[in-house]
A and B are shown apart, each in its own frame.
Chain A
């Protein structure tokens, strides 16, 4: 160890090195500061989205390039995982560096629109004619349209045609039929039914078609109409027709179970189609999710991302962004995009064409036609309702609360949080 009392005297060489270090630090700081102040490139539009998947990112870029080229623009995407888009966008907002186009999950739109940080799209010239009711409602907040979805998804019942044929079970149309079909299809290591009931946005998305179809109201959980849906899920598990692991299975896990032949039917969305198509062992078909009673109807949720234009203060860039968005949403581009990502176009005419081209996915297309937006009733309050609903079905499925009690508690927690 060197003697701690000995302090070396600075030699001229050392002093020069120190000066050099200080100078270079200062230059570095100056460079960093000017970097922040640099004005955005007028020929490049920026986009923040969740296309982290390589194929999806490339597919997106193709459409951006096609539409950007019409206006002599380049488009640069920044992609972060879906769960991080909101926090990333909020950070960008606080540093005034938001992108020209912000692609949000539809259920996050109200929380953003409520900040007055988004531009209404119609005054900027985005054409909304012919959009489906669900798509209009998903992109709106308090009557103003802020976000347009190129394509949307919903949920349907995907079933294993071989297993149903072998057990001579017809495709269930009502909840009673679903319960008995699931029971008859359960044998050995194969469950009759599979669904995802994780305590997050995806689990709630899966619960909604049952909750809404039974008359459930997300603004008044304690009217107890949703209890029937909780009972249905609970019965599927207590009958042994569905695994109690549903509370931990993601939608991806559910699809894996189905593909391994361990589930005869599942609730899932069109984004699973590539995985379903990539194999030949399991033969599958798509049907509408069963309704509570014969002649009743099913109310599935609508999901997907919407493109918004943040209030950045650059009027000319916003106008260009609106033009690019408009181009992405022409009937032709919507059909092409929908087919690329297995989602359903939002323009009614485009959806019809898509349905004609993809008869196998008609079940999904039909679901989207009547699908309802999660935020239509509760708007920016949706995140709280979502957490409460997840708590409700998790406590019912694990046997820690009866459906009625779970729903009353859910409404109480929503009320407490919004106080």
Chain B
């Protein structure tokens, strides 16, 4: 039971970021910036809570900051047509640098913020954002496959030229998806800092943005499968704390490395076919 709730708690922030990454990649924009958005969200959540004494306000601040970060990334990746991976790398660095710089500037101490109030819990150490994460999965599925804008997002990702030709504003849809990915990843970050914990520490996401991206790939860019991958990776994280308690004969470090090894296997297609959106990284009107 403890292992189950721990799995759900570890998986939830991954699901937030992964659903954002999925929507963004489905629209045709490679998103390695998730890690940066998560860090910004984690920081903004704590900073907002600290200044207002209300974790709800903190969450709203995290959402705003995530949207702003997404907008910057979108401007570079879509309007300026900069290399999406280069721009994503810059966002990750920006997230890491700005949050640790501001932590020291605001609270005068390197490494961590003071403790702040947390979001309300719903029992068993789970906070209110946890069910929201799992609700996001059917919503994402429904949006992508059952609604007109969702199908258009897919068109933008699979064949941007064709989408453009039938009058879909590819740039507009991509902007929307990138900004949403920034918001969702930031909520995932806030989940960590004001949901699970009650403070911000430097680089507290510790690669979860990249693991979320890995979940998207492992889940073959499908919402339910991506959630499955996030649960698996969350289970690996949760297991790590239970290995000693359960006295399992598995080295702890191997379990932590599981998401990376599984993703390597998944992306090389050894397990099964991995097919990214065909038009990813391509612009509608080229050449």
Q: Do A and B come from one complex?
A: no
